[in-house]
Amino acid sequence: MGWIYLALLCMFCAFSAAYRKEHHPVPTYFGRRHPDGTLVDRSAPEFDRDIKKPFVNQKWRNDASIKLSPTVATNGGEVAVIWNGVTDPQEKDFIAFYCPIYSNPSHYLDYFYVSSSSTWKEGSGNYSVVVYNMRSTCVFKYWRAGSSYSKFVAESEELSFDKGGPEAPLQGHISMTTKPSEMRVMWVSGEVTKPAVVKYGLDKELSMEEYEYIIHTYTADNMCQAPANSTGFTHPGYVYDVVLRNLKPNTQYYYSFGSETQMSDVLYFNTPLPSGDKTPYKMVIYGDMGVSPGLRAAETANLVLDDALKNDVKFVFHHGDISYARGYAYIWEHWFAMIQPYSTLIPYMVGVGNHEQDHTHGGERDPSGAPGEGSWHPSWFNGGTDSGGECGVPMFKRFHMPDNGNAIWWYSFDYGMAHYIMMSTEHDYSPGSRQYTWLENDLRNLDRTVTPWVMIAGHRAMYCSEAYESDYVVSVNMQRLFEDLLYKYKVDLAFWAHYHSYERTCKVYKGKCAEDGITHIVVGSAGKNLDVDKWYPEEWSVVHKTDYGYGRVTIANSSALLYEWIQNDKQEVMDHVWLTK
């Protein structure tokens, strides 16, 4: 059997070099689309190929003007750009968006052609865009497309943002520490003029205050490669990181975060169940989200918010491929605005995927402490420059997970009757490695009378029958390197993602269904473009679907656990399994 396995492995290796997964476009700041409805790709060379440079920043002779409605925008809200009085308009004339307002006119965040408006030939038009508070004022400029340069025509009034503008507390999210008596609150602001604070309490009076915080930020130089450290960089603002301590477990608290100048709305969260608490509850798990609208990422966000409000879902486990910023920093702003309604309500726990972590150079800047120039690259591993040069830096600065492993890369926590482990499949997991040693130690120290249920999540899959050769090779090597460890310590459920699809296995061990095996779930279906691959016939695959959706676990009691997969468009449970012991 061994030689067949090796022969197959080598065959797949040969395939893998030639077979790369389809590139998914990076949405532009405005999320512009081609006439056929597909997204314009910010990372493609044709993004601004037709924009002629240099920019001649001298006003063209006319009475053109640009008005904005409103001039004070909401984060993630629409602004109508209305222009008038343009003489002799050209089809390729364009309006560029500067945010912040840079003196270099070629430093725009996005642009649109004036021909996007049906009245452009009359020298006037109206086009609405969605804007995000990037902690500065912004401006739109109309440029005349010349044959070899772009000439300045008109500039809008300045656009600012409501609820504090640069001091607005943005991108709020909460996360668990290792203690049920604590909750971490994080948010982003520009420079604040008064002290940052979280006000909180058992009622909306918010009688307690926490002024102690850590502040995180990063520059282009902190990251490993382009575009993250070059054309894709915009300043992330300042990430505030506050831990509320001495809280009562399993208790609702009201809170508000920000600075004394501008606080968030009054929100609420529930502190975690203590380890071993027998109260039933639910949690949600998904990977590969991004920022796609419609029935995709935005629908996952809507449904999970609903689950958190009405269905007793206690936290989110998002195991990699988070925003798909891939070096284009504004995508992080879009993504956080999308999840904020529920990431401020229930803890949002994250792990890294290839699109946050993988890089090929600049290893000394990788904050995970991984050795070498690039990420982990055994010969059979197909990681490349998938993070767009971010090499884990934005993830590390924007999130703070329980401090009992290696920051966001690997950690664990208890919640009631279950123990949860997040691991990084982008780091060495072979026996003897730092991560393997930590994982073994974590599993060895479990008391199954306290947490009878044990679940692990990582990004790339240990079992997935999707016919994508180079990742299949990775899965076979994951089985080779640490399946035995999970089996030895009787892990109940292993969650993976990376494949943009859904799959559930039988209880499996070494490629065979086995009563004492582990149930594996691939749930990379939270929003990023679905895969198009076929499926290998594998005896361990119980169900697979290529559609958008997310997973939900119900810890019913110490001997029964329900797992469900909810399909977004039907808003129904399309697969489920009870695990009993």
User: Which positions touch Fe ion (CB under 5 A)?
Assistant: 321, 353-354, 498
CA distance 12 to 383: 15
- 3-state class (DSSP) for residue 504: strand
Least distance (Å) between residue 394 CB and Fe ion: 16
CA distance 111 to 30: 8
* Exposure class string for 162-181: b at 16+ Cβ within 10 A, else e: ebbbbbbbbbbbbbbbebbe
CA distance 270 to 581: 29
Closest CB to Fe ion among residues 383, 416: 383
CA distance 392 to 409: 9
Q: By beta-carbon distance, which residue lies closest to Fe ion?
A: 498
Least distance (Å) between residue 292 CB and Fe ion: 15
Least distance (Å) between residue 288 CB and Fe ion: 6
Least distance (Å) between residue 498 CB and Fe ion: 4
Closest CB to Fe ion among residues 353, 392: 353
CA distance 472 to 12: 8
CA distance 579 to 563: 8
State both tokens at 485: 């460890």
Distances (CA, A) of 525 to 219, 318, 340: 32, 11, 20
| Half-sphere exposure for 96 (CA within 13 Å, toward CB) | 27
Closest CB to Fe ion among residues 199, 498: 498
Closest CB to Fe ion among residues 164, 383: 383
- Give the angle 550-316-375 at the CA atoms, nearest 5°: 90
Closest CB to Fe ion among residues 24, 419: 24
- 3-state class (DSSP) for residue 313: strand
CA distance 171 to 21: 31
Closest CB to Fe ion among residues 54, 378: 378
Report the side by side order of strands in the sheet with 267-270: 208-210, 196-201, 252-259, 267-270
Least distance (Å) between residue 150 CB and Fe ion: 38
Closest CB to Fe ion among residues 172, 353: 353
State both tokens at 342: 């529920």
Least distance (Å) between residue 526 CB and Fe ion: 11
Closest CB to Fe ion among residues 456, 497: 497
